[in-house]
Amino acid sequence: MASIGVEVVPGTSGFGTVRYDWTREEVRALFAMPFPDLMFEAQRVHRLHFDPREVQISTLLSIKTGGCPEDCAYCPQSVHYDTGVAAAKLMDVADVLAQARAARAGGASRFCMGAAWRAPKDRDLDQVCAMVAGVKALGLETCATLGMLTAPQARRLREAGLDYYNHNLDSSPEYYGQIITTRTYRDRLDTLGHVRDAGIHVCCGGIVGMGEEREDRVGMIATLASLPVHPESVPINMLVRVAGTPLAAHEPLDAIEFVRTIAVARIAMPASVVRLSAGREDMSEETQALCFLAGANSIFYGPKLLTTPNPEPDRDKKLFGKLGLVPME
């Protein structure tokens, strides 16, 4: 890649090569580009690696809701905040498989199972492994997000057929401590290492609009883009401000800054699927369209994202129709 210093000349940058030595200065320079130039580069990079009409569709099911001992300031499932989310036990395998069949019928190619745990207990993992094997047998890609994992737990999940594990870095290393105090950034990186070593694809991104500065968004993407291998899937979430959580009263992030974040993630991790994740319910069609133009090529489909609302499937189908987008096989 050409040296970008503080200025990028569109079309001549050499962006599009997968590299793991991104510096903060480089990522900062991307964020600072004039919007038309940034979008041009993001689209160019996107087309080098993907068909821009194709969007990967995932469905996310909460298999164990609420009662989580962690204190993630954005999360309605933490026991630390009074958000009205009722705690529920781990779902039965048969019920999860019924939901997976419905997701497949709705066009999903990946089925994600989320549990509100700090870390799974080994006996819970038996049940989750049965879910993973069952979902896999339906011909869907499998994904789970269960909190921190040990290396043997990651290997067990892989043996059960887990394709992806989601564990987000959430924000920059500096801002992380403002959001979560019950585990460290290092803990997160260790779990990601165990997942990678077990041969499971990594799904890892973050949340913006949590009151962080642009420099934190720079730090988050620079950290993701300089991991030893890029996450195959990079969810970029817009904070859903849930009443009762400490972040409920934050001003929403400017939509253009959100689109910029997607575009920078696309350029910095050219071959990864970038997911336009939480926060779509409150996003205009125009903002979502800009996100797709900026290189987002995955969404969660279905009316609920764990405990927060997501656009109704009909609304998404209409939007896909208007934009000429099709589900990725």
Can you give the binding site for ligand SF4, defined by CB under 6 A? 68, 70, 72, 75, 77-78, 116, 147
To ligand SF4, the closest distance from the beta carbon of 147 in angstroms equals: 5
Residue 56 near residue 265, CB atoms below 8 Å: no
Residue 129 annotated to the active site? no
Q: Among residues 77 and 109, whose Cβ is nearest to ligand SF4?
A: 77
Distances (CA, A) of 255 to 103, 116, 290: 29, 29, 10
Catalytic residue (one of 28, 44, 110, 112): 112
Q: Among residues 27 and 179, whose Cβ is nearest to ligand SF4?
A: 179
Residue 203 annotated to the active site? yes
Q: How many of the other CB atoms lie within 10 Å of CB of 83? A: 17
Cα–Cα distance measured from residue 172 to residue 263, given in angstroms and rounded to the nearest whole number: 18
Residue 112 annotated to the active site? yes
Catalytic residue (one of 110, 156, 183, 203): 203
60 Cα distance to chain centroid = 11
* Residue 142 parent element (H or E): strand 141-145
Catalytic residue (one of 28, 110, 129, 143): 143
Record the tokens describing residue 97, joined without a space.
Answer: 């498989």
To ligand SF4, the closest distance from the beta carbon of 303 in angstroms equals: 20
Q: Among residues 260 and 275, whose Cβ is nearest to ligand SF4?
A: 275
Residue 178 near residue 219, CB atoms below 8 Å: no
Q: What is the amino acid identity at position 316?
A: D
To ligand SF4, the closest distance from the beta carbon of 173 in angstroms equals: 17
Q: Among residues 39 and 146, whose Cβ is nearest to ligand SF4?
A: 146
To ligand SF4, the closest distance from the beta carbon of 324 in angstroms equals: 35
Q: Among residues 4 and 63, whose Cβ is nearest to ligand SF4?
A: 63
Record the tokens describing residue 199, joined without a space.
Answer: 């041969």
To ligand SF4, the closest distance from the beta carbon of 110 in angstroms equals: 19
Q: What is the 3-state secondary structure (H, E, C) of 227-282?
A: CCCCCCEEEEEECCCCCCCCCCCCCCCCHHHHHHHHHHHHHHCCCCEEEECCCHHH
Residue 291 annotated to the active site? no
Pairing, β 304-305 against β 308-309: antiparallel
Active site residues: 68, 72, 75, 112, 143, 203, 275
